[in-house]
């Protein structure tokens, strides 16, 4: 899954794809490099970020979605029912909701009625405050319990279980240690019986584990290491900025791992 942030303020690529022409070109390049789907989002979810209005989110993503329709499978990264509805009408196939259907009570119905795929992600707190001292007794079990409950909620509201994938939410209310433990113990999430999506690409925990305690991003080399580790432990979808390099690294890992 290639990342297209149509935002001015995402940490590692803020502004790069803010203009529709650039976002479309990036998405088509990612497709050509081997992305199975591109995840288009108009609201940054980086730690400390503020929410944007529906109108602003639509203004950012609609011109991109219009031009990608029929060109590449698209996921819409949003927690807002109105944005998801418009994206799905333009052909988006998956709704990537970092709030796991908790932010907008109408979103569950929009996804159910459309028959779209859905990604349910774990987040402790909200982006503005989530990195303020997150604590867990057992991070893997607590994240799994949350995702199990959100999966049940989605299915009860008419979303087919086969259409749902789960995501530990790397960096969303977690310390560096929590993030790496979640990958080490991915089996706890896989036990829920759904495909797991992992988004470690360029995240600050990578820079921090490499020795910079104030890092806000991580390098490509470290992103590749994390993606291969997640793949080895059973992740099905890797959400990444650098598609070509990840496709190559994962092709080699796949050649080793049957
Ligand atoms: C939008 N977004 C930013 N990071 C993400 C992650 O790790 N997973 C998913 N599903 N979405 C993310």
Determine the distance separating the centroid of ligand 1 and the alpha carbon of 97, expressed in angstroms.
8
117, 94 contact by CB (below 8 A): yes
Q: Indicate which residue's Cα is closest to atom 6 of ligand 1.
A: 199
Active site residue 80: no
pLDDT tens-digit series, residues 93-118: 999 999 999 999 999 999 999 999 99
pLDDT tens-digit series, residues 153-209: 999 999 999 999 999 999 999 999 999 999 999 999 999 999 999 999 999 999 999
Angle formed at CA 88 by CA 198 and CA 18, multiple of 5 degrees = 65
Q: Indicate which residue's Cα is closest to atom 4 of ligand 1.
A: 199
99, 115 contact by CB (below 8 A): no
Is the beta carbon of 10 within 6 A of some atom in ligand 1?
Answer: no
Angle formed at CA 27 by CA 65 and CA 17, multiple of 5 degrees = 80
Q: What is the largest CA-CA distance in the chain?
A: 47
Give the residue-averaged pLDDT of 54-68: 98
Of the listed 31, 46, 174, 239, which one is catalytic?
Answer: 239
139, 183 contact by CB (below 8 A): no
Is the beta carbon of 41 within 6 A of some atom in ligand 1?
Answer: yes
Q: pLDDT band at residue 12, thresholds of 50, 70 and 90? A: confident
Nearest CA among 81, 194, 104, 199 for reference residue 147: 194
CB-based burial label for 49 (10 Å; 0-12, 13-18, 19+): middle
Give the residue-averaged pLDDT of 55-78: 98
């Amino acid at each position: 899954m290639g990342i297209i942030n149509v935002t001015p303020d995402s940490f590692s690529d803020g502004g790069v794809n803010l203009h529709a022409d650039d976002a479309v070109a990036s998405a088509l390049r990612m497709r050509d490099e081997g992305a199975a789907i591109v995840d288009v989002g108009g609201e940054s979810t980086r730690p400390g970020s503020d929410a944007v209005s529906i109108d602003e989110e639509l203004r950012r993503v609609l011109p991109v979605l219009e031009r990608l329709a029929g060109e590449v499978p698209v996921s819409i990264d949003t927690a807002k029912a109105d944005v998801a509805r418009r994206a799905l009408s333009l052909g988006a196939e998956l709704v990537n909701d970092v709030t796991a259907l908790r932010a907008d009570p109408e979103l569950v119905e929009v996804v159910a009625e459309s028959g779209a795929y859905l990604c349910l992600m774990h987040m402790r707190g909200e982006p503005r405050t989530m990195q303020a001292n997150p604590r867990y007794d057992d991070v893997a079990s607590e994240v799994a319990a949350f995702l199990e409950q959100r999966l049940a909620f989605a299915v009860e509201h008419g979303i087919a279980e086969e259409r749902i994938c789960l995501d530990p939410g790397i960096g969303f209310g977690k310390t560096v240690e929590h993030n790496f433990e979640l990958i080490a113990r991915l089996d706890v999430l896989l036990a829920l019986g759904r495909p797991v999506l992992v988004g470690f690409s360029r995240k600050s925990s990578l820079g921090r584990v490499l020795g910079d305690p104030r890092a806000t991003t991580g390098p490509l080399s470290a992103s590749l290491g994390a993606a291969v580790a997640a793949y080895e432990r059973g992740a099905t979808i890797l959400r990444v900025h650098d598609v070509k390099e990840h496709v190559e690294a994962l092709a080699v890992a796949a050649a080793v791992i049957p």
